[in-house]
Amino acid sequence: MKKNTSVIPEPVRDLLVQAARWAARNAYCPHSHYAVGAAVLMTDGQIYTGCNVENASYGLTLCAERVAISKAISHGNRAFAALAVVGGTPKKPAFPCGACRQVMVEFMNSESPVYIAPLKSGKPVSTTVGALLPCAFQK
Ligand code: THU
């Protein structure tokens, strides 16, 4: 059962975006030169971060969001409260890919906040998992 939806205070949101920006510094992206960072906030306050990890066999690339989510899961923590992703420019920030949206649906609520911000600086756009993937496939 997925639960734990909450309102995230603005300073916490900003901290999460900042954590994602720090994680993006570790992006392994020699093929695209497109760094992405992600951070997930858990209901206990814990933050897990991720970056994209590319491969010469392009399809093996791991997206930043799925790295962050997998880190939380592999630490035994599934109580997601929010996710931030940073990438791209203020004009064209990195919206999560379709695969990552489906993975968010797996572990987060449709009301869970998702913050999308440019890589370097700038305010995040606020949306939700449900808005990013309406009518999602669910068993
Ligand atoms: N990427 C992510 O990390 N997350 C997304 O949601 C979209 C794309 C990465 C994958 C690849 O390393 C680079 O961005 C360019 O597609």
Catalytic residue among 10, 54, 65, 106: 65
Give the single-character DSSP code of 127.
Answer: E
pLDDT at 115: 98
Residue 3 or 66, more confident: 66
Residue 98 domain flag: yes
Q: Which residue owns the Cα nearest ligand 1 atom 7?
A: 97
Specify the number of domains making up the chain: 1
Q: Look up 65 and say whether it is catalytic.
A: yes
User: CB of 32 closer than 6 A to ligand 1?
Assistant: yes
Centre of ligand 1 from the C-alpha of residue 94, in Å:
8
30: CATH: 3.40.140.10
Angle at alpha carbon of residue 69, lines to 128 and 11, rounded to 5°: 55
**What's residue 6's pLDDT?**
61
Q: For position 126, what pLDDT does the model report? A: 98
C-alpha dist (Å) from residue 86 to 16, 60, 83, 101: 10, 21, 10, 15
pLDDT at 94 over 80: yes
Is 3 within the bounds of a domain? Answer: no
**Do the domain assignments include residue 55?**
yes
Q: Please give the residue range of the domain that contains residue 22.
A: 10-131
For 41-81, the pLDDT digits (tens) are 999 999 999 999 999 999 999 999 999 999 999 999 999 99
N- to C-terminal Cα separation, the chain: 13
| CB of 61 closer than 6 angstroms to any ligand 1 atom | yes
In a domain, 4, yes or no: no
Q: Identify whether 105 is part of a domain.
A: yes
Above 70 in pLDDT, residue 3?
no
- 139 found inside a domain: no
DSSP string spanning 89-120? -SSSB-PPPHHHHHHHHHHS-TT-EEEEE-SS
Q: Is the pLDDT of residue 4 over 60?
A: no
Measured by CA distance, the residue closest to atom 6 of ligand 1 is 96
Tens digits of residue pLDDT in 15-41: 999 999 999 999 999 999 999 999 999
On whether the CB atoms of residues 78 and 52 are closer than 8 A, the answer is no
Domain assignment of residue 113, yes or no: yes
The answer as to whether 137 is a domain residue is no
